[in-house]
Amino acid sequence: MYRQIILSLLLLSVLPLRAQTEVQPPLQTQQVIQRYRRAKNAVYVELGKDLLTRYDASYCYTLQLLPSGKELEAQWSDVEQALDTDRKIASIIKEQIERGRLLGAYYRFSSKDSKIHRYLLYSYDNRGVITLVSIGGTLQTEELIQRILTPKSPTPKRK
């Protein structure tokens, strides 16, 4: 009886340590994506299993915020704050800035404890559309870029 209690206590004390090393904390931009995915001016896309396996990804979320009056200012402020917070912990940063405004960004986040790399792509176009793409997977930066930019051959039609 005592042996089972001690074993249970040991297991319970080890599990939180293991979970902390394997799970990466959520990025601020991922929280923004989840917050605004149902907004009236938002287009939210979550990739399905087939596409995720094509890119060796474990998840991929895309959010586009379309310009629509007062809502966009609050959303833009939240996106800007989240980007500023996340860029401080990014491993690789590539940014395009024009006239003091961030127009495009590519960030990579990696953890020493995990083989999963997280990527964040950001775009702000001249029409006022904000796009955030969050991808997590085992691919390295060069592999991911090559897979995204290389056109796929068309899938044969089923009979």
Average pLDDT on 8-24 reads 42
CA-closest candidate to residue 111, choices 27, 29, 22 = 22
Ordered by start, the domain boundaries in the chain are 24-149
Instruction: Supply the pTM of this predicted model.
Output: 0.72
pLDDT of residue 151: 63
User: With 50 as the cut, is the pLDDT of residue 1 above it?
Assistant: no
Per-residue pLDDT tens digits for 63-121: 999 887 677 778 888 999 999 999 998 887 888 988 888 889 999 887 666 777 888 99
User: Distance between CA 77 and CA 120 in Å, rounded?
Assistant: 18
Please state, as a whole number, how many other Cβ atoms lie within 10 Å of the Cβ of residue 154.
6
